[in-house]
């Protein structure tokens, strides 16, 4: 330590560094970033890696009780030191923390750095974990098609790790199906066919995986896989197979109801509610959605993203059954929660559902207020984060037409139509909603 | 629908009915009921031999669900169909119920559109003074809503009353 202090004094006297802070800890800064860069370049690769390793170990020891806080820094030092195991542990820890704080891009960068530490042929649980979590984060930033490829890579590793946890395979299959369903709702028509075909090819193996899990005791992963299959059956399969979706959703609710975490049951009810809509049972749809919401409103329910889904779904169900005022109350709550947890796509969706309610109530002033809000959101976050806005634009066109602002109505109508064509292809490819 | 494409509406409705409904996260899903109500609206605007049947189908579906707005739209469409058939008493009952229901929702533009249909019924029955008053009520609502095209149509209607 005295040796280090002497060296720091020399560097400071030479004008290379400056004492930035003396309490509670000594902090020195380089006078210029170029000085730092030159100092680093003067080291050999080996020296640099060794120094990063030493710094990582010192930080680990000094901040032993605050490792979560320093996990990102530790991950970088151990990655530079090529200490893969430690780097991966801290990168995963830091990425999870970043996701919980909605710093998704930061989580993405940390996991990409961790992934670069592995050879592609590396067969290890760490490699599998990094691939899976990177794919999870990609889905949060609308990169579902890349996520599918990473999950597939992780499954490949799982297959080579003979005797590893079968639940992990169920989970990876489930995530592939979920990501495949997300692709269906997020890509241009021109990209869709090939991507959906890739996901479709996996379906047989997923069903085989499902059969393998039948002997397992009720497990959250089995319930989640069934939910994913239910969604897949109506959102990806063409034409939608509502009977299959209903079977999967019912099976998921039966399993999820036995699980200790109410969020699992809530999500299963969500899948079940969607199948009720598809079967034309709108009263049942509303009842199931409201049951789900009641489950999420109890005091000890802590899964905020799930609560948000429940609010949005209940608002939607109330709207479709004509209870517009109640729908608006629930959707305003959804919008607030979405803002609170930085779920901008859900915030956008809640706004559009509110706009639909206001349109039905002939409150065009409110529709235009909401249009200003969602266009601001789109400017801030981009369509990639928010999702398609063709329907929202069409609502604006309707209001303008009612008000006699025909030029604006025409241009909005055209913009909405063009976006729909880009998304779903020509009218012969349209679903019911596009014709509607 | 943009101008000139209104005639395509039945084609889109038929195509929509033949396809399965799906919930759409960022758009609007369409249930059978949504489509029946659109058919009923279309029948009320364009007439035609099936307009009453479309209105009845929409009303039954809306009643089953207890959907107040759609019940009112279907009732108005049924009222218009009755008026076209010269069944004035039935038309009056349907339009009055529809008007009350729109006011309860509340859906002011829809209520004003219903007042326009009431005006036409009163005109058909030769109750011109009453028709004039009803049209004035509709006009007032349209102006308050800044519904310029509808207001212009009522002004035109008043000129010929």
A330-353 pLDDT, tens digit each: 999 999 999 998 888 899 999 999
> Choosing among A279, A322, A367, A417, which should be mutated to test the B contact, i.e. which has the most B CBs within 10 A?
A322
Distance from C-alpha of A128 to C-alpha of A123, rounded to nearest angstrom: 8
**What pLDDT digit, counting tens, does each position of B17-53 carry?**
677 666 666 556 778 889 899 989 998 888 888 899 9
Q: ∠A414-A238-A254 over CA atoms, to 5°?
A: 115
Task: Say if A53 falls within a structural domain.
Answer: yes
Distance from C-alpha of A396 to C-alpha of A410, rounded to nearest angstrom: 10
Are A93 and A54 found together in one domain?
yes
Are A13 and A54 found together in one domain?
no
Q: Quick check: A60 pLDDT over 50?
A: yes
A24 touches chain B (CB under 8 A): no
Task: Say if A13 falls within a structural domain.
Answer: yes
Task: Say if A55 falls within a structural domain.
Answer: yes
Are A22 and A47 found together in one domain?
no
Task: Say if A280 falls within a structural domain.
Answer: no
CB pairs under 8 A between A and B: 119
Which residue range(s) make up the domain with A9?
Answer: 1-41
Residue A75: CB partners within 8 Å, gap ≥ 6?
A87, A88, A90, A91, A93, A94, A110, A113, A114
Task: Say if A181 falls within a structural domain.
Answer: no
Distance from C-alpha of A62 to C-alpha of A57, rounded to nearest angstrom: 9
Task: Say if A32 falls within a structural domain.
Answer: yes
Are A19 and A63 found together in one domain?
no
ipTM of the complex: 0.91
Integer angstrom CA distances of residue B29 from A26, A431, B20, B25, B95 = 61, 10, 10, 8, 29
A 35-74 residues with CB below 8 A of B? none
Are A27 and A48 found together in one domain?
no
Return mean pLDDT, chain A. 87
Q: What is the pLDDT of residue B149?
A: 97
Q: What is the pLDDT of residue B2?
A: 45
**What pLDDT digit, counting tens, does each position of A207-226 carry?**
666 666 666 678 898 899 89
**Chain Cα centroid distance, residue A209:** 24
Across residues A22-46, what is the average pLDDT?
83
Q: How confident is the model at residue B6 (pLDDT cuts 50, 70, 90)?
A: low
Are A51 and A36 found together in one domain?
no
Are A18 and A62 found together in one domain?
no
- Say if residues B54 and B10 touch (Cβ distance below 8 Å): no
Q: How confident is the model at residue A185 (pLDDT cuts 50, 70, 90)?
A: low
Give the predicted TM-score (pTM) of the model. Answer: 0.82
Q: Quick check: A299 pLDDT over 90?
A: no
Task: Say if A240 falls within a structural domain.
Answer: no
The domain boundary, picked from A60, A75, A108, lies at A108
A410 touches chain B (CB under 8 A): yes
Are A101 and A52 found together in one domain?
yes
Are A35 and A64 found together in one domain?
no
Are A77 and A97 found together in one domain?
yes
A402 touches chain B (CB under 8 A): yes
**Using a CB-CB distance cutoff of 8 angstroms, which residues of chain A are in contact with residue B105?**
324, 361
Across residues A225-231, what is the average pLDDT?
90
Whether residue B107 and residue A360 make contact (CB cut-off 8 A), yes or no, is yes
Task: Say if A83 falls within a structural domain.
Answer: yes
The domain boundary, picked from A53, A86, A108, lies at A108
Q: ∠A361-A362-A363 over CA atoms, to 5°?
A: 90
A432 touches chain B (CB under 8 A): yes
A234 touches chain B (CB under 8 A): yes
Q: Among partner residues B26, B105, B106, which is closest to A388 by beta-carbon distance?
A: B26
The domain boundary, picked from A108, A143, A158, lies at A108
Whether residue B19 and residue A360 make contact (CB cut-off 8 A), yes or no, is no
Higher pLDDT, A103 or A328: A328
Q: Considering only alpha carbons, which residue of chain A is nearest residue B72?
A: A322
DSSP 3-state assignment of A23?
coil
Q: Quick check: A377 pLDDT over 90?
A: yes
As for how many domains chain A has, the answer is: 2
């Amino acid at each position: 330590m005295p040796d280090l202090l002497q060296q720091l004094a020399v560097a400071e006297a030479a004008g290379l560094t400056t004492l930035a802070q003396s309490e509670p800890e000594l902090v020195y800064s380089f006078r210029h970033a170029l000085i730092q860069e030159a100092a680093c370049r003067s080291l050999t690769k080996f020296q640099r890696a060794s120094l990063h390793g030493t710094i990582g170990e010192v930080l680990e020891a000094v901040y032993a009780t605050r490792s979560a806080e320093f996990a990102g820094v530790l991950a970088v030092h151990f990655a530079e030191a090529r200490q893969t195991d430690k780097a991966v542990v801290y990168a995963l820890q830091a990425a999870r923390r970043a996701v919980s704080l909605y710093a998704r891009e930061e989580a993405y960068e940390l996991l990409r750095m961790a992934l670069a530490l592995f050879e592609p042929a590396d067969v290890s649980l760490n490699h599998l974990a990094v691939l899976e979590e990177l794919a999870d984060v990609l889905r949060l930033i609308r990169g579902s098609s890349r996520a599918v490829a990473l999950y597939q890579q992780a499954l490949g590793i799982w297959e080579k790790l003979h005797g590893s946890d079968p639940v992990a395979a169920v989970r990876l299959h489930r995530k592939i199906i979920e990501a495949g369903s997300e692709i269906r709702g997020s890509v241009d028509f021109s990209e869709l066919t090939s991507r959906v075909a890739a996901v479709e090819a996996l379906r047989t193996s997923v069903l085989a995986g499902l059969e393998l899990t039948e002997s397992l005791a009720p497990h959250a992963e089995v319930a989640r896989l069934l939910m994913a299959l239910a969604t897949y059956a109506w959102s990806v399969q063409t034409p939608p197979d509502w009977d299959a979706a209903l079977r999967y959703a019912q099976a998921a609710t039966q399993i999820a109801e036995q699980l200790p975490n109410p969020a699992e049951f809530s999500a299963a009810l969500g899948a079940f509610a969607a199948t009720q809509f598809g079967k034309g049972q709108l009263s049942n749809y509303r009842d199931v959605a409201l049951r789900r919401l009641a489950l999420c409103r109890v005091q000890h329910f802590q899964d905020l993203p799930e609560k948000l889904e429940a609010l949005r779904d209940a608002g939607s169900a109330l709207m479709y059954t004509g209870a517009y005022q109640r729908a608006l109350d629930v959707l305003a709550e959804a919008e607030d929660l979405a803002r609170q947890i930085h779920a901008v796509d859900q915030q956008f969706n809640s706004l559009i559902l509110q706009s639909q309610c206001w349109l039905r109530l002939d409150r065009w002033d409110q529709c235009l207020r909401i249009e200003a809000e969602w266009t601001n959101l789109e400017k801030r976050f981009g369509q990639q984060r928010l999702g398609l806005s063709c329907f929202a634009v069409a609502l604006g066109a309707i209001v303008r037409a009612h008000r006699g602002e025909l030029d604006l109505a025409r241009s909005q109508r055209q913009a909405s139509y063009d976006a729909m064509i880009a998304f779903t292809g020509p009218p012969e490819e349209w679903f019911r909603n596009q014709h509607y | 629908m943009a101008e000139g494409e209104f005639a395509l509406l039945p084609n889109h409705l038929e195509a929509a009915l033949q396809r399965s409904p799906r919930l759409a996260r960022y758009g609007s899903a369409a249930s059978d009921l949504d489509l029946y109500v659109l058919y009923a609206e279309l029948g009320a605007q364009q007439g035609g031999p099936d307009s009453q049947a479309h209105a009845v189908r929409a009303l039954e579906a809306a009643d089953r669900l207890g959907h107040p707005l759609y019940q009112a739209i279907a009732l108005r469409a049924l009222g218009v169909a009755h008026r076209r058939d010269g069944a004035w008493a039935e038309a009056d009952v349907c339009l009055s119920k529809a008007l009350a229901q729109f006011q309860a929702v509340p859906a002011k533009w829809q209520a004003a559109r219903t007042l326009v249909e009431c005006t036409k019924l009163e005109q058909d029955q030769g109750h011109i003074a009453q028709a004039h008053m009803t049209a004035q009520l509709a006009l007032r609502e349209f102006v308050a809503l800044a519904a310029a095209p509808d207001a212009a149509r009522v002004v035109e209607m008043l000129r010929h009353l």
